[in-house]
Chains A and B, each alone.
Chain A
Amino acid sequence: MYAYDEYDQAIVDQRVAQFRDQVRRRIAGELSEDEFRPLRLQNGLYLQLHAYMLRIAVPYGTLSSAQLRQLGHIARRYDRNYGHFTTRQNIQFNWIKLEEMPDLLADLARVQMHGIQTSGNCIRNITADQYAGAAADEIEDGRVYCEIMRQWSTFHPEFSFLPRKFKIALTGSPNDRAAVRVHDIGLRMHRDAAGEIGFEVMVGGGQGRTPMIAKTIREFLPKEHLLSYLEAILRVYNQFGRRDNLFKARIKILVHEIGVEKMRAAVEDEWQQIKDGPLVLPQATIDAIAAHFAPPDYRPQPADQPEVDLLRRGDAEFALWEKTNLFPHKVPGYAIVNASLKPEGLAPGDATAEQMEIVADLADRYSFSEVRVTHAQNLVLPHVAVKDLPEVWRRLREIGFATPNLGLITDIIACPGLDYCSLANARSIPVAQRLTHRFSDLARVHDIGELQIKISGCINACGHHHVGHIGILGVEKNGEEFYQITLGGSADQDASIGTILGPALSSNAVIDAVDNLIGTYLDIRQGGETFLRTVRRVGVAPFKERLYATA
């Protein structure tokens, strides 16, 4: 994976020194909160419901074992022994002390980490397919281009004060695991007719109070033009994006208001003026970055794995885990292992210091010291030899990260909600917890099959409810928590925004409501049809009728 050069390290070290002085001046009363707030936000430090919250960037979801171990140290030394992996592939710590932030940032800088680009109206930390560089179905390792974009976007002087925050996601596989169509810019790597690999460029997607699916403005962009084309889009947005209204300031509103044709024309106009300038990416530059992402030293693996076969036949739990929590690796004899951070009854995406350290140890021993963070709030060991699966499974099971539920009904995405977030209107985590209790029978969970429940505690949609197969949105009515249910959303290559089923339900009713929807699905599904396919075939009406008939 990418290792900082002296420039990267100098930037981050300088930032630590600057912030140390800023914190000193704030505590001494030389800076007011109004003066200090933008400075702390530029380092990922928010003031949340209970305390300061620090959001740390995990660029394109890739972590080294040393970095994950250091996050465990941060949890133990500076927080209450746990952190929360987010839907932006970042990690948040909930109980940070301002006066300890300078030392904390210095500890992070030692492992090439920081909170830059995790807040503010800049280009945010870029997200990607968590299986990049490992997946059997991938066309190319997109992290190379994510890293190039990271270097281009960090402290980009023209794009540090955009109308609003700006999120870019990239997938190098035709099977989109990075939700690229609900980002300000989505990039999908594919081959053109001549067999060249380049990018489909999508623009204007997003969630929040106005969910939109991104529109394709360029079918094929050669790699060398990636940065100039992005710069053209950002310039058009920077000039025409609405700064008069916070709720209309995202690029999705601009694209919606002027239409994709005008947007495309404006971007192409701008691009023609800069496309052959200094932003052209020479092959040598691409190669130099790509060298950082060279495949690890895979060893030839025997075709027969009698020990694994034996365990598979003898242990139904292992067999179930292998069926759901692995993903095909591009190298024979290897597998991608998902550690499920969705055990029954706990907060989705939470991990303690000890859990982080054990996953880091497993990465060192079994996955070339690499870990990934997924936008679905799980962790990944990307390169595990099949012969090591039994041991990895046992160790993950010991720390509660081996629930065989990946992509199933209890693999729930949930934002922190009102338990932690000052923007939230209702709690998210307890709803997820109650759902994992209701659906604790693994046989039933596997019978229900592929199903994504996504829960947000407010309309900002950090919990991605708009693109949940079942989406749950918390709202407040007269001081009480209510939950609005949507059906048929999806964040993959066939992205769609869910349809609101009907009036919001009380906190008491929401778990039964999900059970009711599952009942309808099980009654009307045809063959091996997934929940989402069933909703798309019959629409929401049958679900709605049965749900509200009993209400």
Chain B
Amino acid sequence: MTQESKRPDPEDVAKDRRQTKSGFVPQAMTANRLRDGAVIFLRQDHTWSENLVDVAVANDAEQAATLQAAADRDVAAARVVGAYLFEIAVENGDVLPLRYRERIRAFGPSIPWDRPVSADQLSR
């Protein structure tokens, strides 16, 4: 698994928030999967994906509340933990978190972090 192509560029930091006409900054929902801690994103059908590209975009407060309610249900059901909405920009259909922190969370550390994996681990 390589994430090189998606690794955030340190210089590429969103400086301005891209609001919709109503003044709402688009948001998406993230959490960690309870069993293994993986970073996950809420899809439109309220299932969870490990890939940011699958995430449902909330373009107004009502849509955000729907995502929040879906996430709250999965928190209560002990499927996910630490769910929260974060601000994004959507460009040409691509979702990009506004805050640098959320980019690192979505794409992985900005430094090499997938070390050579031993045969022992691959066989699991």
Contacts and interface: CB of A to CB of B under 8 A. Distances in A.
Interface string B95-124: 000111100110011110111111011000
The listed residue with most B CB atoms (<10 A of its CB), out of A49, A354, A424, is: A49
Contacts of B75: 33
Nearest to A23: B35
B115 A419 contact: no
A27 B78 contact: yes
B32 interface: yes
B94 interface: no
B52 interface: no
B34 interface: yes
B100 A479 contact: yes
B54 to A, nearest CB: 18
Contacts of B45: none
A98 B78 contact: no
Interface of B is mostly: loop
B32 A47 contact: yes
B121 A76 contact: yes
Given A80-B115, A427-B110, A430-B111, A481 B100 contact: yes
Contacts of A67: none
B104 A27 contact: no
B120 to A, nearest CB: 6
A101 to B, nearest CB: 10
Interface in B49-104: 75, 77-78, 81-82, 98-101, 104
B23 to A, nearest CB: 19
B15 A352 contact: no
Given A50-B39, A51-B39, A76 B120 contact: yes
Contacts of B100: 418, 476, 479-481
B104 A419 contact: yes
Contacts of B115: 80-82, 352
Contacts of A353: 118
B37 A81 contact: no
Contacts of B11: 508
B33 to A, nearest CB: 9
B10 to A, nearest CB: 6
A536 interface: no
Given A418-B101, A479-B14, A26 B113 contact: no
Contacts of A52: 32, 36-37
Nearest to A82: B115
A242 interface: no
A96 B37 contact: yes
Interface of A: 26-29, 32-33, 47, 49-52, 76-77, 80-82, 94-99, 347, 352-354, 418-420, 424, 427, 429-430, 433, 476, 478-481, 507-508
29 contacts: A26-B78, A28-B78, A33-B82, A47-B32, A47-B37, A50-B39, A51-B38, A51-B39, A77-B120, A81-B118, A81-B121, A95-B37, A97-B35, A97-B37, A98-B37, A347-B111, A352-B115, A352-B116, A354-B118, A419-B104, A419-B109, A429-B111, A430-B111, A478-B15, A479-B98, A480-B100, A481-B10, A507-B10, A508-B11
Given A51-B39, A77-B121, A427-B104, 9 more contacts: A47-B32, A76-B121, A81-B116, A81-B117, A98-B35, A419-B110, A433-B111, A479-B15, A480-B100
